[in-house]
Amino acid sequence: MKTRVCIIGAGPAGLLLGHLLRAEGVECVVIERQTPDYILGRIRAGVLEEITVSLMARLGLDARLRAEGLPHGGFNLADGERLIRIDIADLTGKQVVVYGQTELTRDLMAAREERGLEVVYEAADVALHDVESDAPFVTYTKDGTEHRVDARFVVGCDGFHGPSRKAIPAGVAKEYLREYPFGWLGILADVPPCNHELIYANHERGFALASMRSESRSRYYVDVPLTDRVEEWSDERLWDELAIRLGPEAAAHMTRGPAIEKSIAPLRSYVFAPMRHGSLLLCGDAAHIVPPTGAKGLNLAASDVHYAAEALTGYFRRNDAEAIAAYSDTALARVWKSERFSWSLTRLMHRFPEDGPFERAMQVAELDYIASSRAAQTAIAENYVGLPV
C-alpha cells in the first residue's frame, strides 16, 4: 500500500492526527496493534484543555463532548484543614472540560467510516524502515500475511512502549527521566462525586484526588508505595483512606460504591528529544510522559498532533518543509512547560518518602503563598487550563 502519512498507533493521538489530516485531504493510514475493544477498555484521565476541545470542535466531532462534558471553572487544593480554590474562569477567562479520554477516543473511533479514515487494527510485528530517507516504509503482519505501507512520512503515536521511538538511533537522541517513589491507586465507581469540582489533597498520610466522569460516576486516587499490590486494597480500605486524606468536608459528601475499575499506575516524568528524525515524527506518549497530577497527558498529545498536522498539511499543500524541520523544537517548547507544571504540582501535593521537615515546610510555605496571592493562583490556573499553542 502507498500513502502520504503512515500513523502508528490508534490511541487518541493517532486517531486525532488521522482525522485532522483527512479533513485537510491528506492521505493517511493508521496501523494499530490492539482491537478497538481493548483500546476502549483502558481507563485514563479526564480533564480536557481548550486545545483538545477546540480540535474536536474543528473536526465537528464534539457533539457528545458538548452534551456530556462537564465545564469546570475551577479546582481545589486541599492542605489538611483548608481548601484553596483556584478560580480558573476568573483568573484566565477560560475553563477545562471534564470528559473521559476513553469517551474522546470512542468519538474519534466512531467517526472513522464517515470521514474515510482507514485504521488497520490487530497489526502485529509493526516495524519502521528507512526513516532517515524521503521514502520510509512500515511493515506489519495481519492474519498471517506480511504487509508493507510506503509513505512520505511516518508518525509514531504508539505510546510509551511502541516501536517508533526506538527507530531513532541512540546517538542522536537524549532521554530525560524522573521516576517517582509512589504510584496512584485509582478507583472508578458509579456514585455521585463528593464535590462539584476536583480536589487535589496533600494529607500527612499522602496524596488524594477526587475527580469524576459525570454527575453519577466518580474517579478517585490515593498515592501508594510502588510495592503495594491492588489486591491489598479492598474497596472498603480505599474508601476509608480517601475519606481521611480528602478531609471531613469531602468525606461527609462522599458516596461509597463498588469499584468498576481499580488499578495502580506508576508515576514518571520522561522526555525524548528530538521528536523528529528524518521522515519520522513522534507525538504524545511515544515522546513524553507526565505524572497525572494536572492531567496533561492527553492534552500534550493533542498539542503535538496539532503541530504535526499543521506541518504535514503545509508540506503537502504548499510544498513547505519549514514547519516539518521546526516540528521538534516547536512541540518540545510546550512539552517542557507541561512537564515542569506536572512535576511541580506533583512535588507540591505528595509526601515524598525522602522528605524531611525542611521539604515539608517548603510545601506549607508554598501552599500558604498560593492561598494568599492572586499572582500565584494565576500562574497555576493558566498552566492548568493549558498554555497557548
Question: What are 101's three cell numbers?
Answer: 479520554
> Given the rule CB under 6 A, which of 43-51, 80-88, 224-232, 279-287 is the region that contacts ligand PHB?
43-51
In sequence order, the 6+-apart residues with CB closer than 8 A to the CB of 148 are 1, 137, 138, 139
To the query of whether residue 38 is one of the catalytic residues in this protein, the response is no
Instruction: Name the minimum Å distance from CB 108 to ligand APR.
Output: 10
Active-site hit among 12, 19, 72, 277: 72
DSSP tag of 256: P
Kindly determine how many residues on this chain lie close enough to bind ligand APR according to the rule CB under 6 A: 29
Residue 33 interacts, among ligand PHB, ligand APR, none and using kind-specific CB cut-offs from 5 to 8 Å, with: ligand APR
Residue 156 lies near ligand PHB (rule: CB under 6 A) = no
Decide if 348 contacts 59 (C-beta within 8 A).
no
To the query of whether residue 163 is one of the catalytic residues in this protein, the response is no
Instruction: List 78's β-bridge partners, or say none.
Output: 83, 201
Q: In what order do the strands lie in the sheet with 206-214?
A: 82-86, 75-79, 199-203, 206-214, 217-224, 174-189, 259-273, 288-289
Q: Which is nearer to ligand PHB, 46 or 73 (CB)?
A: 46
Residue 46 lies near ligand PHB (rule: CB under 6 A) = yes
CA dist list (Å): 44 to 68, 96, 170, 328 = 17, 16, 30, 26
Q: Which is nearer to ligand APR, 8 or 309 (CB)?
A: 8
Residue 100 lies near ligand APR (rule: CB under 6 A) = no
- Among 10, 21, 96, 210, which residue sits at the site for ligand APR (rule: CB under 6 A)? 10
Decide if 322 contacts 328 (C-beta within 8 A).
no
The residues in 156-175 that bind ligand APR, with binding defined as CB under 6 A, are 157-159, 161-163
- Distance of alpha carbon 43 from alpha carbon 186, whole angstroms: 10
Question: What are 257's three cell numbers?
Answer: 460504591
To the query of whether residue 292 is one of the catalytic residues in this protein, the response is yes
Q: Which is nearer to ligand APR, 247 or 292 (CB)?
A: 292
Question: What are 128's three cell numbers?
Answer: 519502521
To the query of whether residue 72 is one of the catalytic residues in this protein, the response is yes
For the chain, count helices (H), then strands (E): 13, 20
- Among 7, 21, 31, 282, which residue sits at the site for ligand APR (rule: CB under 6 A)? 31
Catalytic residues: 72, 200, 292, 296, 384
* Residues found near ligand APR in the complex (CB under 6 A): 8-14, 31-34, 39, 44-45, 101, 123, 126, 157-159, 161-163, 284-286, 297-298, 301
* Residues found near ligand PHB in the complex (CB under 6 A): 45-47, 198, 211, 219, 292-295
